[in-house]
Structure 1
Amino acid sequence: MDEARRDRDAEGRARSARPRDGLGRPLPHGAPGVERQPEGVVRTPAQTLTEAQRLLDAGMPFHAHEVFEDAWKAGPEEERELWRGLAQLAVGLTHAARGNTTGGARLLLRGAERVADSPALYGIDVPGLSRWARQLANRLSGPVDPAAEAPRLVVRA
């Protein structure tokens, strides 16, 4: 592809301008799509968890992954593995919803491991998320409904 013709963001990084569906899959130019999450948003941990949970509950784990990715990249060093693990869980659910059971299971298990090795901060249900991811990975046999499978991120009081 001609480098000059690639879609670029405001900073000049390659970024597809094609619309995306709710699971982050590219759609044809001009098709109606789901608005993408803005990149590089700095949120408090509570805001990150609230926004990610909203997106997971709406069946949009790809978009939740992008919210976690912002936290992973902007957060303190000692929290990055937790946020990275949460991003992997969300993208694992994305792949599972798309019907990629092998890739989904791998990402869910990798995220479960990373989350399990992280401190439980901000009320995040680390043991519950790790258990959820392992159970989902072990029973994947076809596409799943991402909203029905959405985990609870925070322990309810």
Structure 2
Amino acid sequence: MPYGTEGVERQPEGVTRTPDETVAQAQALLDAGRPFHAHEVFEDAWKSGPADERDLWKGLAQLAVGLTHSARGNLTGGARLLLRGAGAIDAGAWGRRPHGIDVDGLITWAQQLAKSLEEDSSSVDAAERAPRLRGTAGRE
């Protein structure tokens, strides 16, 4: 949603979900073009999840906020957050597919989107550019 859009309720905060519920809800929000709302779902996971996974969820939240900024026309900030989020999920010791999340695919997605933002000065359609959290094989 463009910044300042009226009538779009925020996600409830402080909700504890299982990792599978987190990924499924965030993917549905990303697919609907609501990356900021997906960010809030990831934020709940990083605040309520185990300490050794907090950087994973925080990195995923940064990817969602990077997409939010990109859709709102803040291309420089969006690219920075995409790359920061990619670095965060790449640096963890949780493996390449924690909770079925396609870390390698998300890193590639973020790097490609950040590069395209640098080359093209137009904002992106958040739903059209939404990542696949579990890769192309798992539509979640």
* TM-score greater than 0.5 by the shorter chain: yes
Deviation at 1:26, TM superposition (A): 3.4
1:147 equivalent among 111, 115, 127 = 127
Within a 5 Å distance, the mapping from 1:1-157 to structure 2 comes to 22-23=1-2, 25-27=3-5, 32-118=6-92, 119=94, 120-140=97-117, 141-155=121-135, 156=137
Of all paired residues, the percent bearing the same amino acid is: 65
**Which sections of structure 2, spanning at least 5 residues, go unmatched?**
none
Residue 34 of structure 1 deviates from its aligned partner by 1.1
C-alpha deviation, 1:76, in angstroms: 0.1
Q: Matches of 1:43 and 1:70 in 2, distance apart? A: 8
Aligned length: 131
Q: Separation in 2 of the partners of 1:76 and 1:153?
A: 20
Unaligned runs of 5+ in 1: 1-21
Relative to its length, the structure with more helix (as a share) is 2
RMSD: 1.2
The answer as to whether partners of 1:100 and 1:142 remain within 8 angstroms in 2 is no
Q: Deviations over 1:64-88 (max 9, x none)?
A: 0000000011000000000000000
TM normalised by structure 1 equals: 0.80
For the pair shown, which has the larger CA radius of gyration, 1 or 2?
1
Q: Which has the higher contact order (CA 8 A, sep 6+)?
A: 2
Q: State the alpha-carbon separation in 1 of the partners of residues 22 and 15 from structure 2.
A: 10
Render the CA deviation track for 1:123-147: whole Å, top value 9, x for unaligned: 1000000010000001112200000
> How far apart are residue 117 of structure 1 and its match?
1.4
Amino acid at match of 1:104: G
Runs of 4+ in 1 over 6 A off after TM superposition: none
